[in-house]
Structures are given as C-alpha cells and as structure tokens.
Amino acid sequence: MHKYLFPAIILALTACQQSPKPGQNTDSTSTTTELPATWAKRYKGTLAGQPVTLLLQRSDSSDVRGWYVYDAHGEPISLTPDYSRGPGDSIILMEGYSQDDNTFRGMVSADGHFRGKWLGTKNNYDFDLVENNDSAIVFSLVSYEDSARLFQSNENSPVATVSSYTVWPTSGADDATITFLQQALNPGLKPGETAALGLKNGADSFLISYKGNAKDVDTAGMNNGPSWNWSAQGGDVVTWNQLPLLAIESWAYDFTGGAHGNGGSNFVVYDLSRKKQLTITDVFKGGYKPALTTALEKAYRKRFKVPANQTLEEAGLFVKKIEPNNNFFITSHGVVFSYTPYEIASYASGQISLFVPWDDIRPVVQEAYLR
C-alpha cells in the first residue's frame, strides 16, 4: 500500500550492501544468510539439457524480471513478473504477458542458486542455475519510491505514486570501464552524486507536474471524469551481459488518466572494449536496410505464425514492411529490434521485439560483431 506523501525516500543501495558469503553470519546470533532487498544477478546452468544464461533482478517483493537465452542459438527471451500472485519468497516469471505462456517458478537463495521448475505448454523441467559472473559486469540495484497528494491538506485527495530503479555497475571490468558505464547509465549525474539522486530528481519532476494541476481541477466533478490517481513506473534491466557486449532495457509505464496508461521499452547496447554506445551504423555496413527489412519480416512471420500469402497489414500491422529502427541491441548471435506500442501495431499488440540471427544478414554486419 502506498502511503500518502512520502517525505522520506525508500532506497535500496545494494552497492553498499553486499550479500554475505555462504556460511557467513550476518550478526553474532544469526545462523543463516539473507539476500539484500534488491539485487541484479547472472546465472548459468542447463534447462531441458541445454546450456542457458539467465539475467535476473529484483526491485521489490513483487517485481522480479529479466532475460534469458539458450546459449546455442542466442535469442534473448524476456521474463516479466506475474503480478497476480501476492508477495512472497517464490519467484514466478512469464515468457510473455499471459498465464498461458511458459513460466519459471523458483527460489533465489543466498548461496548463489536459482532453483525451481520451468513449466511449458507441453513439458516441465527442473532447473538449478548457479550465479556466474565470468566475463560479465557485476551490478547492484538502486530503487526509489515516492508519492504525493494532489491536494496536500485533503486526506481523501487523489494520489500520484512513483517507483523506479536502475542498475549500478560495481565490478567485472577495469576501473575506467566501470566509470564509463556509471556515467553512461546515469548521464545527468555530477561527480560525487549517486544513482539514487538521479532517480529522485526524475520522481520530483513527475510529482511537481502532477501537483501543478491542482489549481485547474474541478473538484465537484472529479469522480466523474478521468482518474487523478496517477502513477509512473520504470526501471533498467540488463538484457545481455557477456563482455565486451552489454545491453540494457529501460522500460517505463505512466498512467495520467484516460482509458489506459502508456509505456514501452528502449534499448541501448555498449561495446565495452571501445567504451562506446553502439549506433546502427557501428554494427551494420552501408546499404543494410533492405537486408534487415527482409529479415525482420521473416522474423515477424515466424514468431506470430503469419502465412506467406497474408500481408503484414492483413496480419494487423500498421505498416507494409518492418524497417530497422534505432531501438535495438545485439548479442553474440544476432540482433533484436524492438517496436513500442503504436509504432508498427496497435496498443493491444504491446511491444514487439524481433530477433534476427547473424546467419540471416551476415553480409551486412560489421565483422567485429560476427561470431
């Protein structure tokens, strides 16, 4: 439950709150170890007999999300939280947005394991993945929450709430690379400022905008119009973490009245050997667009089972062809292009992310990024 008006900050700074080592007591009377309140971890192991890498992070008791990949073919699969369950120790993650999707159900323990069962539409598999940071950046997670009344002196006032989090690189590379990443992921911060301050500044901006509407609200008809219980949520999620490549998803969802909120995800990818955020021309050779457009249509038809004799518009898209955009990231096996709601399809279609393996577009990929 959100409290009316948080003058205090809820912060989880795990950069300064390291998880104790297995077997190490947290105090003189404790005999067990506990995970910190928030965390970002990388696991490796096998699922259905195949090697997998899973990136997982928790910002609070109900928001656990991440990405995973079968190492042999490298297509990243998004994992989203199942909000239908109550808070608890167990983690339920969906490979999509409905109860019919494949799910991970398991527990994360302080001894570095994520154990449980993967439930598919046809088969179920037990898994035991182990924390592994080889050739990867190690992150902590910083979170922030705040809220404010629209009418400060009215206890029954509508309320706006804000919750956000970001990942904070702590180790896994030399100091210069870690400093580059900290600045790249938090570009507004000045030397000596923390990621928590950046989250607070963003929340303050949203709440100031919200409270600025109070003077224009007709309180007599407030309950008959759009809701004034606004909310803003967002966070950064590690999507690929295998040096020298690192990719981050930044997602956001805002509700400011109306039939529904609006949101989506933007992706960035870094080549840490160059200390550079990659652009599309860094990854692809000149004249790449026709090849990528053809490959993206192939990926869309495969994922959504669209037959060859049906046009993309007949399949529900707004566009006749899917062209590459600047919202992408790469892995060691291929590239993911992502399209926010309304960009190429209706809001109900959600975010559409399409994976194109290097084998489909090898002639237009810069050799540095081919396996």
What is residue 4's predicted lDDT score, i.e. its pLDDT?
A: 31
What is residue 79's predicted lDDT score, i.e. its pLDDT?
A: 95
pLDDT tens string 224-248: 667 899 999 999 999 999 999 999 9
Neighbours of 91 (CB within 10 A): 21
Distance CA 57, CA 237 (A): 7
Name the helix (H) or strand (E) containing 116. strand 113-119
Structure tokens at 281: 């021309």
Please state the domain extents for the chain. Answer: 34-131, 138-213+225-277, 280-369
Write the CA distances from 368 to 57, 178, 181, 324, 335, integer angstroms: 30, 22, 21, 20, 14
What is residue 89's predicted lDDT score, i.e. its pLDDT?
A: 57
Residue 214 has pLDDT above 60, yes or no: yes
What is residue 29's predicted lDDT score, i.e. its pLDDT?
A: 31
Write the CA distances from 138 to 16, 55, 172, 317, integer angstroms: 13, 11, 6, 39
Rounded mean pLDDT, 314-325: 96
pLDDT, averaged across the chain:
87
Beta bridge partners of 93: 81, 104
Name the helix (H) or strand (E) containing 323. none
Distance CA 34, CA 210 (A): 38
Please report which residue ranges of the chain form alpha helices under DSSP H: 175-185, 195-211, 280-283, 289-304, 358-361
Rounded mean pLDDT, 287-296: 98
Nearest to 354, CA basis, from 363, 345, 364, 362: 345
Neighbours of 326 (CB within 10 A): 10
Distance CA 309, CA 307 (A): 6
Coil, strand or helix at 217: coil
Distance CA 183, CA 187 (A): 5
What is residue 6's predicted lDDT score, i.e. its pLDDT?
A: 35
Structure tokens at 369: 């990024």
pLDDT tens string 145-200: 999 999 988 888 999 999 999 999 999 999 999 999 999 998 888 888 889 999 99
Name the helix (H) or strand (E) containing 74. none
What is residue 254's predicted lDDT score, i.e. its pLDDT?
A: 95
Distance CA 218, CA 203 (A): 25
Nearest to 165, CA basis, from 235, 237, 232, 81: 235
Write the CA distances from 345 to 60, 76, 297, integer angstroms: 32, 22, 14
What is residue 239's predicted lDDT score, i.e. its pLDDT?
A: 98
pLDDT tens string 66-83: 999 999 988 999 999 887
Write the CA distances from 205 to 146, 200, 249, 250, 274, integer angstroms: 11, 9, 22, 18, 34
For domain 138-213+225-277, give the CATH number: 3.30.565.40
Say which CATH superfamily domain 280-369 falls into: Heat-shock cognate protein, ATPase (3.90.640.20)
